[in-house]
């Protein structure tokens, strides 16, 4: 049996699922041909898609499962997306609900959760990650000052805000150069690394060049807005032997693909399948307990897809120390706790923001209550007085 990529499409009520499915299986592959190509009949046939299942749902919508030949694509996301949705997306209404790729399609993470733990030398507890805030308007020196505060409090990972590109007022390389000595000093004193995922920007060539320069100067992690720059840019970074650091994939703009109920590709496809096969090591995505309304089922589907390929899960947006018990229930300790304002806007300052997470983790481990009345004075209590518990 030939190797295939199976894709599930949702069609709206009132459309003809047979016709739509054929437009995908035939129209997005070899199409039709006439007598002039009889001599190529076998070769052409090999490239045709095949309708595997067709189901009408009770509400009149329908779902088709279509198998596309692996022989039509090159192992990358660009040719895959062009085949499964390319031209069709401009005419036929459909949403891609899920897709199943062979395990050897595309790229594996080079680091993943395990590799990130190895870099940090932290193995049993959840990792704590912060975001530089405010996102725009700070100088390289401001960044270094903020980093120093959280570094000495024991933070594991920090990242740029995704909206901060390479700007003349705070060039990316300068920000890195201002921060690098703090990471070195911490390694010397605490004996373990802090990863700083530096945000990449520019055209595809500039992104790769910037990544190489950063890594050459010691940068130990990178951040890419994969959907705003393009999946092919992530793939190029992940296949570049000079860029041997974990790549954090940010979900910015994924909603433009995934948020509509009857169009585009589901979040589990964009933030799950696609990133898991395009070389990302860690994926940020909205946590349903957070500040963005996000369906829990989609979050858990993403979690499971990422874990199956060894990527790090980074549920994000509106995460603060009081949410820790809820995240532990859903993730256990194999998770990166990523807080922006939930660390930076802590009433006692960013260092206390970091400490509040570690205090919450210890308290959770000791099975102690998170009720405000039972908390001692300190970072966790101050955080929960500001942001409350989960829910």
Q: Choose, by CB under 8 A, the member of 272, 286, 315, 379 that binds a copy of itself.
A: 286
Distance CA 249, CA 385 (A): 32
Number of alpha helices (DSSP H) and beta strands (DSSP E) in the chain: 17, 13
> Which position has the token pair 């898609």?
49
CA atoms within 13 A on the CB side of 258: 24
Q: Choose, by CB under 8 A, the member of 207, 306, 312, 343 that binds a copy of itself.
A: 207
Cα–Cα distances (Å) from 9 to 50, 53, 58, 324, 366, in that order, read 13, 10, 16, 36, 46
Distance of CA 110 to the CA centre of its chain: 15
Q: Is 157 in the site for a copy of itself (CB under 8 A)?
A: no
Q: Choose, by CB under 8 A, the member of 8, 62, 63, 76 that binds a copy of itself.
A: 76
**Number of chain residues interacting with a copy of itself (CB under 8 A):** 91
Q: Which of 219, 280, 222, 225 is nearest to 250 (CA)?
A: 225
Q: What are phi and psi of 338, to 5 degrees?
A: -115, 110
Q: Is 159 labeled as catalytic in the residue annotation?
A: no
Q: Choose, by CB under 8 A, the member of 52, 88, 330, 386 that binds a copy of itself.
A: 88
**Least distance CB 70 / a copy of itself (angstroms):** 11
Q: Choose, by CB under 8 A, the member of 15, 79, 333, 348 that binds a copy of itself.
A: 79
- The contact pattern for a copy of itself, residues 33-72, with x = CB under 8 A and - = no contact, is xx-xx--x--xxxxx-----------------------xx
> Which position has the token pair 């594991």?
156
Instruction: Tell me which residues in 162-191 interact with a copy of itself (CB under 8 A).
Output: 162-163, 165-167, 169
Instruction: Tell me which residues in 304-363 interact with a copy of itself (CB under 8 A).
Output: 317, 341, 345, 349
Instruction: Tell me which residues in 215-274 interact with a copy of itself (CB under 8 A).
Output: 225, 227-233, 235-236, 239-240, 251-257, 259-260, 262-265
Question: Does residue 303 contact residue 331 with C-beta atoms inside 8 Å?
Answer: yes
Q: What are phi and psi of 247, to 5 degrees?
A: -110, 120
**Least distance CB 274 / a copy of itself (angstroms):** 11
CB atoms near residue 176 (< 10 Å): 21
**Least distance CB 155 / a copy of itself (angstroms):** 17
Q: Is 3 in the site for a copy of itself (CB under 8 A)?
A: no
Q: Is 294 in the site for a copy of itself (CB under 8 A)?
A: yes
Q: Is 291 in the site for a copy of itself (CB under 8 A)?
A: yes
CB atoms near residue 92 (< 10 Å): 19
């Amino acid at each position: 049996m030939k190797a295939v990529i199976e894709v599930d499409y949702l069609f709206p009520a009132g459309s003809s699922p047979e016709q739509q499915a054929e437009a995908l299986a035939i129209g997005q592959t070899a199409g039709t041909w006439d007598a002039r190509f009889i001599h190529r009949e076998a070769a052409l046939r090999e490239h045709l898609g095949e309708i595997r299942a067709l189901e009408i749902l009770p509400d009149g919508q329908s779902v088709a499962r279509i198998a596309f030949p692996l022989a039509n694509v090159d192992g990358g996301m660009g040719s895959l997306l062009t085949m499964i949705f390319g031209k069709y997306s401009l005419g036929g209404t459909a949403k891609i609900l899920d897709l199943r790729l062979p395990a050897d399609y595309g790229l594996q993470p080079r680091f993943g959760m395990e590799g990130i733990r190895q870099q940090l030398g932290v193995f049993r507890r959840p990792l704590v990650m912060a975001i530089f805030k405010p996102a725009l308007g700070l100088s390289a020196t401001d960044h270094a000052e903020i980093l120093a505060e959280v570094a000495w409090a024991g933070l594991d990972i920090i990242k740029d805000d995704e909206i901060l590109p390479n700007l003349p007022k705070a060039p990316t390389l300068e920000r890195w150069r201002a921060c690098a000595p703090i990471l070195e000093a911490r390694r010397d004193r605490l004996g373990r690394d802090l990863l700083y995922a530096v945000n990449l920007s520019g055209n595809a060539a500039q992104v790769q060049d910037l990544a190489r320069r950063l890594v050459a100067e010691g940068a130990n992690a990178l951040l890419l807005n994969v959907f705003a720059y393009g999946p092919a840019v992530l793939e190029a970074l992940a296949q570049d032997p000079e860029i041997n650091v974990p790549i954090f994939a940010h979900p910015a703009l994924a909603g433009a693909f995934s948020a509509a109920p009857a169009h585009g590709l589901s979040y589990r496809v964009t933030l799950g399948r696609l990133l898991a096969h395009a070389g990302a090591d860690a994926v940020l995505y909205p946590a349903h307990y957070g500040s963005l309304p996000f369906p829990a089922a989609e979050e858990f589907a993403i979690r499971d897809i990422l874990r199956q390929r060894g990527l790090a899960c980074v549920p994000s947006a509106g995460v603060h120390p009081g949410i820790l018990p809820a995240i532990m229930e859903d993730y256990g300790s194999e998770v990166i706790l990523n807080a922006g304002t939930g660390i930076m806007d802590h009433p006692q300052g960013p260092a206390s923001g970091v400490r509040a997470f570690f205090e919450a983790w210890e308290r959770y481990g000791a099975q102690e209550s998170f009720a405000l009345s039972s908390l001692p004075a300190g970072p966790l209590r101050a955080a929960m007085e500001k942001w409350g518990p989960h829910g």
